[in-house]
Structure 1
Amino acid sequence: MAEDSGRQMEDVDCSGYTFEDLFEYDNAVFMFEILDDWATSDLYANSWVNESRAATVRENLDGLFDGFPGGNNSWISTDERDAVRSIGAKCIADMYTRIGIREGLPHRGGVDWNDVEFVEEGIGLEEVNLIPEGHPEERSCSGRYAFASADCQEVPVTATNNLEISMFTKEEETHNTRFNKLPNSGQSDFTVAMNVTNVTSATMMFTFPFIDGMRMANWTILDDGVENLGAGSIEEIFLPDGSVRVSVDIQYDKADYPMIRNIFFDMTTSPPDTNDFPVWTGNEPADDTIVPMIKDGSEVVAISGETMLDWASDNDAWGLDCQFTETGWSSRMNSDGDLLVTSGSSQSSDATCHLVDPYGATSNASHTWRFGQPASFSATAGMFTDSVEIDSTPSLLVQNLAVAISATQGSTTGVATNVNLGSTTSSDSVSLSGISPGAFMIHVMATSPGMLDWEAEFDLGLEKRNSLPVVSINYDSIEGTYATWSSDQYSFTLTGTAVDPDGGSVTLSADMCDETSTGFTTNGDDWSVTLSIANCVAQGLTEYYVVITAKDSVDAISSTDVTVPDPYSTDNSGTENTGDTSEEESGLPSLGMFASIVAMLGAALLARRD
């Protein structure tokens, strides 16, 4: 019986809810970043929901559609899931973020907080396994409810299959939350508060724009206004660029509800009472070490944070403060701990680097290193098939350079060509084996005594030309035929091989008598397909022209054909012939339609058997 309703999707109201009211979870990660304008922010949430809580989430979402066809009926459907995806941002925009900010002296409890609010246009949502495929009680809901889609499927809300829900800022947007701009933009003291009631288990990360000397001065957790520091932990984390994050780990036992749990942490720019100086560990490079980098006038990563991980130590954090001798050179640290360098017009530059901590404490000891590009790489831009010629030109920053050059494309790196580069240009062939058709870059790894290892990629305007797929049909020389007929004489099987010389996948189709079949069985490069002659017989044919088409990943097509005579027809004088064609084009052959009605087909088959 179809259900109907006058409610519209716009009627869904989530005001008064929190994320936890709708999406009860076992564990979650929240990442809240205040952006540089101190008025907008990015809130990311990812929650993992297991077993009984997964059933609760399904029940909550089904209840959200009370009054809609199929809504709040103890079954959750793919249509409801799609509706959640469609209206989820609108729903969340009505919810509380639970986060508040207030400038001035440390605050606790009942004050007028500057509440963080959701921005509907910036909210992105994803869910995984809300409607588990293959559930034993899965059923079709097409036709069961008014307006149900043709492929509607539903499962009971009691399904305990694990699921995952994520919220993030949409790719084309800059933020998904906002608040009233802090008048002092973080330059003075402020408090961050969050109501974590019913947050069963979560890790929260608060990130702030760089403010010189910003740090966390104090924190607390209050249960109904009473301090309870055992309910979680709050820790500040200094990043190499001098900015600060606050990490919160919190738990809440549902048995304690309706007890209200709030967390507070106070941020300040006042210097700490004591501060240690950063120190070198002895793992850093010696003076006069060459630091290799791409020198194109832009800001590039000269030394990765991973490389520098054990070079120094500090109680809070540390970074490099480098002063260059040549005009136009400069550097800075980013939040990932990388040293970013902008090059000037000179080929290289020495730099004296000290250690510095978030409060400006600088190491007494320093190191002087030379920054520059050890070699340049060039090629003739264009299309290539099997290999490309790369010219490597040394800059004489080092005397000898051991270089491994390879083609790279996304996460794929081809076979490397090893070059020992001295004082002159070397021209070497680089294999394109394993690289797919399309644009690719040149990946370089280089080593030299007295130089940090160098790894870089260069865009030289290179593309790999596509090679057409190769398809063939096997011929049985003993039987003298391409086809193997079935015992009922109404179908035959062809076998063969199909290969993409570029190493990609191949899609196969077979056309015969105005019908297209894609029901191929494949094993590596080998294929087989069984074709029914029913439509051919209905057309009065006794020879069957078959075209096998292979299409590669960039829609280049090759085909081969064969004419198969019917050995069981009254006219069996035909011989089998094959032909091959190849072309660069897109699209599969169009799907054929049955040329005759079933009665005609049946009559033809009966006449054949007689």
Structure 2
Amino acid sequence: MAGNRLVVHSTALSLIVLMIMMILSPVAEHSNLNEEKISETSGRQLDDVDCSGYTFEDLFDYNFALFNIDIEDDWATSSMSATAYVNGSNSATVRENLDGLFDGAPGGNNSWISTDEREAVREIGPKCIVDMDTRLGIREGIPHRGGVDWNDFEFVEEGIALDEVDLVPTGHAEERNCQNLLAASNCTEVPVSVTDDLQIALFVKSGESNNMRFDQLPNKGDSNFTLALNVTNMTNADLLLTFPIIQGLRISNFSMQDDGIEINSHEPEEIYLPDGSLRVKQHVDYNKADWPMGRNLFIDFTTSAPESNDIPQWSGAAPNNNSIIPVMTGMEYLAVTGEEISTWASDSNGWAMECEFANSAWSSRQDSNGNLFITSTSTISSTAECSIKDPFGAQNNDTLTFTFGQPFTADGQINDGENIDFTINPTGLVNELSVVAHAHQTQTMGTSRSVSVTSDSVTISLPMEGLKPGSVMVMGSAQNSNMLTLNFMLDFELEKISLPPVLDLTVNFEGNNATWDASGLKFTLKGEVLDPDGEAVTLGLSLCGSQATDFTKVGKNWEIDVSIATCVQQGITEYDVIISATDESGIVSTLNVLIKNQYDSDDTSDGSSDDSSDDSESSGLPSVSLLATLSVTLLGAAFARRKLE
């Protein structure tokens, strides 16, 4: 908890693990609460916790949980991520349980769940989880069941991270500041009874490679082994178990047992990924009314050949023999997406494509999503003979020959500030290319331009209109009848320079720049502002050393009332107004406007005076203009300390 150290019961600390459903009993064994141990540890601090041997799934209600467990290539470490989805009334139960963790601490067990309590859970959770059983065990040899000496998985504290979504929903109608005196200054809380959905997650901490470990399997998966998982109290969950690449690894048998008696259950599903690794998907459930019955899952694995196995078959969606597959050379390049290549062949156990290149410096690989990557030298092209093979080594004798190569090189320049000059240089890989391209930013694209390219270089102008200042790339596609479509995104390290805002002043009906208020102490200016790049614009005004930003803006139109009080105090009677418009890139446009005192003679006056006035009247009374000027001066002095509105 921010700023606080809470004293909690060991029982309460154990409940933290309920947040990520990682506190089930050891494999094939159920442990009951040890009330004596709870009593002995009730005075511990948050950083001195021992959560070993406790199970509290019956106190934690989730609607669905998803576990991802990846066995690493060393067959000694593993990465786990787990997400619990808690909805409706179950979420209120979770909040109540977590608030109860902090009974006796400031703000704890008061029917309100706070952000301080949430932070305390995040902070001490990994320390508590590392004491818990992972529920996973593995053992080499013949299939195993029951209470054998399992090679148990253990948590690694430094690899554990916890997080949540909406445990304390932000902006809730019943949200309030925390009421206890020791709460953090920014602490908020909501009643535990709120039913907003929430999520709780465990994952590998940033900068770490795993969060579980076990004794390395001597044969690293090449011999038979059994994986066991305690699924007691897992009411509704999916498990995804992914193993390193072992040719021929498969499930040979499985068993779900309740207190040692085999039951009918969901069968594990084998999913062979394109990179050759095996993923097992298993759904588990448990009726809470069956508690304290223990339920365990056992899955047996082998690398022995299956009794029957089909051969992968090319499909009609595969490219024709001798087709061209475009790539950018001199790097590892994503040539074909997994989604596209998955349609090229079929096999009930999955398949992968292997290519042998004429140029030995070239190579190919598929990742777990099936994406085909080509690694090449800077040479233009290389042919390759490609075959398809399933995880058990069954291979189709029919192969396809493809030419992998780069159909063009390119260059991009910005010369006029408004367009990209995109130059396409054909390499001769194909006789003709149809190219469509546009200037591109993350969420914005310029107008597309198309061109046909044969043997000579071609330059097209790609408009940048509508794009914001900053980095801009070239995106497009190239096509040929005997070539897969090349979709490209080229970064020439180009920057679109910000254009200054366009700032204008609108004259009034009398043709004047300003419209004076009846008091003579302020005037109104109106105008328009536009930014050619579509960026937001901030307006500012300067007059007689004072600043103002209180413009009224509607679309491109702006308006501001300007007080002359500061000018009057300084004896200034002509008002040199400077208006500035600054866009998001910091580019500034300014407009200088000279506003004369409204009582001064017109600029177009020839300066002659009217001699028809009576001398005595002239000498006895000041002129109307003089009276007005004195009034403005006196009134202005009263406002001398006020800033521009």
Tell me, in whole angstroms, the C-alpha distance in 2 between the residues paired with 1:368 and 1:135: 62
CA drift at 1:275:
0.8
Seen in structure 2, the aligned counterparts of structure 1 residues 375 and 473 have a Cα distance that, compared at 3 Å, is: same
Partner of 2:141: 104
Larger Rg: 2
Task: Verify: 1:379 aligned to 2:412, yes or no.
Answer: yes
1:263-278 equivalences in 2 (<5 Å): 263-278=297-312
2:268 to 234, 245, 255: 234
Partner of 2:535: 504
1:172-571 equivalences in 2 (<5 Å): 172-230=207-265, 232-296=266-330, 298-344=331-377, 346-380=379-413, 385-470=417-502, 476-477=508-509, 497-506=528-537, 523-526=554-557, 551-556=582-587
**Number of corresponding residues:** 570
Percent identity (aligned): 45
Tell me, in whole angstroms, the C-alpha distance in 1 between the residues paired with 2:107 and 2:546: 40
Tell me, in whole angstroms, the C-alpha distance in 1 between the residues paired with 2:641 and 2:404: 83
Letter in 2 for 1:279: Q
Seen in structure 2, the aligned counterparts of structure 1 residues 74 and 447 have a Cα distance that, compared at 3 Å, is: same
Partner of 2:204: 169
CA drift at 1:518:
7.6
Q: Which digits, 9 at most, give the CA deviation of each residue in 1:345-384, with x for residues without a partner? A: 542222221211011111022211211111111235x897
Please, what TM-score do these two structures have when normalized by structure 1? 0.81
Would the aligned equivalents of 1:219 and 1:266 in 2 still touch at CA under 8 Å? yes
The structure with more strand, counted as a fraction of residues = 1
Would the aligned equivalents of 1:510 and 1:546 in 2 still touch at CA under 8 Å? yes
CA drift at 1:258:
1.9
Would the aligned equivalents of 2:58 and 2:288 in 1 still touch at CA under 8 Å? no
Q: Secondary structure at the match of 1:320?
A: strand
Would the aligned equivalents of 2:251 and 2:302 in 1 still touch at CA under 8 Å? yes
Partner of 2:152: 115
CA drift at 1:411:
4.6
Name the stretch that deviates more: 60-69 or 352-361: 60-69
Seen in structure 2, the aligned counterparts of structure 1 residues 187 and 6 have a Cα distance that, compared at 3 Å, is: closer
Name the stretch that deviates more: 183-192 or 555-564: 555-564
Tell me, in whole angstroms, the C-alpha distance in 2 between the residues paired with 1:191 and 1:534: 87
Tell me, in whole angstroms, the C-alpha distance in 2 between the residues paired with 1:154 and 1:535: 49
CA drift at 1:280:
1.3
Tell me, in whole angstroms, the C-alpha distance in 2 between the residues paired with 1:521 and 1:423: 58
Tell me, in whole angstroms, the C-alpha distance in 1 between the residues paired with 2:376 and 2:171: 58
Q: Secondary structure at the match of 1:233?
A: coil
Task: Verify: 1:36 aligned to 2:69, yes or no.
Answer: no
Would the aligned equivalents of 2:425 and 2:458 in 1 still touch at CA under 8 Å? yes
Seen in structure 2, the aligned counterparts of structure 1 residues 549 and 69 have a Cα distance that, compared at 3 Å, is: farther
Would the aligned equivalents of 2:514 and 2:523 in 1 still touch at CA under 8 Å? no
Task: Verify: 1:45 aligned to 2:78, yes or no.
Answer: no
Would the aligned equivalents of 2:436 and 2:476 in 1 still touch at CA under 8 Å? yes
Please, which runs of 5 or more residues in structure 2 have no aligned partner?
8-44, 599-627
Partner of 2:189: 154
Q: Which digits, 9 at most, give the CA deviation of each residue in 1:526-581, with x for residues without a partner? A: 566789x89979x999999987765544455556687999999975479xxxxxxx
Q: Which digits, 9 at most, give the CA deviation of each residue in 1:175-207, with x for residues without a partner? A: 222222222222222222222222222222111
Would the aligned equivalents of 1:195 and 1:263 in 2 still touch at CA under 8 Å? yes
Tell me, in whole angstroms, the C-alpha distance in 2 between the residues paired with 1:515 and 1:164: 53
Q: Secondary structure at the match of 1:166?
A: strand
Would the aligned equivalents of 1:30 and 1:202 in 2 still touch at CA under 8 Å? yes
Tell me, in whole angstroms, the C-alpha distance in 2 between the residues paired with 1:94 and 1:147: 30
Letter in 2 for 1:340: F
Would the aligned equivalents of 2:160 and 2:211 in 1 still touch at CA under 8 Å? yes
Name the stretch that deviates more: 60-69 or 280-289: 60-69
Partner of 1:69: 106
Please, which runs of 5 or more residues in structure 1 have no aligned partner?
575-599, 606-610
Tell me, in whole angstroms, the C-alpha distance in 2 between the residues paired with 1:90 and 1:74: 26
Would the aligned equivalents of 1:384 and 1:462 in 2 still touch at CA under 8 Å? no
Partner of 1:592: none
